[in-house]
Amino acid sequence: MEQEGTEPHVLIFPFPAQGHVNSMLKLAELLSLSRLRITFLNIHRIHHKLTLHADIQSRFSRFPNFQFQTITDGLPPENRPIGKFSDLIHSLKSVTKPLLKQMLISGQLGPTPTCIILDGLFNFIVDVDAEPKIPIFSFRTISACSFWAYSFVPKLIEDGQLPIKGEEDMDRIIDGVAGMENVLRRRDLPSFCRLEDPFDPTLQYGVTQTIQSFKAHALIFNTFEDLEGPILSCLRRRCSNIYAIGPLHAHLKSRLSGEDSPPASESSNCLWEVDRSCLAWLDAQPSKSVIYVSFGSVVVLRESQFREFWHGLVNSGKRFLWVVRPNLVAGKDGENGVLEELEEGTKERGCMVSWAPQEEVLAHDAIGGFLTHSGWNSTLESIVAGVPMICWPQFADQQTNSRYASEVWRIGLDMKDVCDRETVAKMVNDVMENRRNELMGSAIETAKSAISSVEVGGSSYSDLERMISDIQLLCQ
């Protein structure tokens, strides 16, 4: 055992949201498998939810050098709604940031970390130039392509391509973004670019955090070279130290399969209680006959949109498995009233659950397509499972991800900015039947390259090894 002080100690701090905690926990597990000392710092209320529903404690107890620590986000007590994003950011800046500094100085988190793997959505939480000076590895939970698009927003504002000048401007191609020539239209830029005021704090927040990420010691992406190689090359011209180590869930699975005594259960990092009954329902369905529908952990539908999706799914004539989170439909009545009424008509060919074991669902033989909001974790999970997508992006990076899925990777159809039952039914039939061979062909090829990237000698495998040895070098 190395002596305390010379042993690398990595502090990992995710932004308090499902997709962020999920992927950063996977990274924590990967680094623990490489015997690094890890402190995983979580916001209290996230940690509380996580330990309620997931097998987290038992999974991590097998690593003697791993510890969870928690910190407040400064908002009112546990389980109250977070409220506005700006309130959370304000509170993280005014309460969490000074507290973190104090915890680092006092040794409350253990020996001074060799480096901090910090969620790139809140780079501000550590002052890189203040004492104690600790190298920051900025971890981006979004795709490299959407990160790259964010970094160009100041230039797009400067040369008049933003703000968007109304609906007629939406389909115009964006100029001057290296590596994205003829790919992005205005409607494919991260959603905040649609704001009328280009200096709106939400857009500026995304841009500032992106630009700050370039100032970090290193940048980490949950992506892989074969998928986003051209964009990663562009990024390397702005930041020489980039590690592309994804898809993290596949990476972890691959390394766990080589472990002497892997944990008994699949890694589940869910903040909600998982309803596994849908797996038995899937077992009873024919191969590739079911479309899986999930809009992730944050997207909220209007009641009218919920109805259009439901009618579209039913009219498509295909079987479907739909994740309807308790807060998926806006408004209290929407949630219960609509569900009860529609659930009745669903029984024939559909199954609804409040939260699914998504990775297992996507890997199930009965699944033939995924109607998704194009969150980055969901996109990667679909890619690894070789499941073609119908993309219905709502906010942030999702608009860019869906464009890449349809136009660049050719593994999905983009249903952006449309929500009517005819389109839903048509797209479901296209993915499940009419264009199935074409989409399935590229989805299977992309899955193969994702999986080989995390196997020994693959690009993500090698980048993770390089990152670990770079961290070890930092304490010599």
Give the footprint of ligand UDP on this chain (CB under 6 A). 18-19, 22, 270, 294, 296-298, 323, 355-356, 358-359, 375-378, 381
Asked if residues 164 and 170 have their Cβ atoms less than 8 Å apart, the reply is yes
Nearest one of 305, 355, 352 to 330, comparing CA atoms: 305
Nearest one of 151, 124, 119, 159 to 137, comparing CA atoms: 119
**Considering the complex, what minimum distance in angstroms separates the CB of residue 232 from ligand UDP?**
20
How far apart CA 2 and CA 471 sit, in angstroms, is 15
Q: Which is nearer to ligand UDP, 209 or 294 (CB)?
A: 294
Q: Which is nearer to ligand UDP, 19 or 120 (CB)?
A: 19
Asked if residues 14 and 24 have their Cβ atoms less than 8 Å apart, the reply is yes
Q: How long a stretch of residues is the chain?
A: 476
**Catalytic member of 73, 119, 188, 414:** 119
Q: Which is nearer to ligand UDP, 360 or 470 (CB)?
A: 360
Q: Which is nearer to ligand UDP, 113 or 306 (CB)?
A: 306
| Residue 70 CB coordination number (10 Å) | 13
| Residue 175 CB coordination number (10 Å) | 12
**Considering the complex, what minimum distance in angstroms separates the CB of residue 289 from ligand UDP?**
20
Quickly tell me which residue has 């990667």 as its tokens.
380
* SS3 (DSSP) at 196: coil
Kindly report whether the peptide bond that precedes residue 201 is cis, defined as omega within 30 degrees of 0.
Answer: no
**Considering the complex, what minimum distance in angstroms separates the CB of residue 252 from ligand UDP?**
12
Nearest one of 233, 291, 266, 245 to 450, comparing CA atoms: 245
Asked if residues 361 and 282 have their Cβ atoms less than 8 Å apart, the reply is yes
**Considering the complex, what minimum distance in angstroms separates the CB of residue 351 from ligand UDP?**
12
**Considering the complex, what minimum distance in angstroms separates the CB of residue 74 from ligand UDP?**
22
Q: Which is nearer to ligand UDP, 13 or 292 (CB)?
A: 292
Is residue 55 flagged as an active site residue?
no
**Considering the complex, what minimum distance in angstroms separates the CB of residue 297 from ligand UDP?**
3
How far apart CA 393 and CA 254 sit, in angstroms, is 30
Per DSSP, helices labelled H in 34-121 are 44-53, 56-60, 85-91, 97-106
**Considering the complex, what minimum distance in angstroms separates the CB of residue 25 from ligand UDP?**
11
Encoding tokens for residue 153? 């927003």
Q: Residues of 253-283 as b/e, b for ≥16 C-beta within 10 angstroms?
A: bbbeeeeeeeeeeebbbbbbebeeebbeebe
Asked if residues 388 and 370 have their Cβ atoms less than 8 Å apart, the reply is yes
How far apart CA 476 and CA 474 sit, in angstroms, is 6
* Phi and psi torsions of 413, nearest 5°: -115, 140
Q: Which is nearer to ligand UDP, 377 or 429 (CB)?
A: 377
Encoding tokens for residue 255? 């390394």
* Phi and psi torsions of 112, nearest 5°: -50, 125
**Considering the complex, what minimum distance in angstroms separates the CB of residue 50 from ligand UDP?**
13
Which residue minimizes CB distance to ligand UDP? 375
Q: Which is nearer to ligand UDP, 73 or 381 (CB)?
A: 381
449 burial (CB, 10 Å; 0-12 / 13-18 / 19+) is middle
Q: Which is nearer to ligand UDP, 111 or 263 (CB)?
A: 263
Kindly report whether the peptide bond that precedes residue 247 is cis, defined as omega within 30 degrees of 0.
Answer: yes
Is residue 373 flagged as an active site residue?
no
Residues marked as catalytic: 20, 119
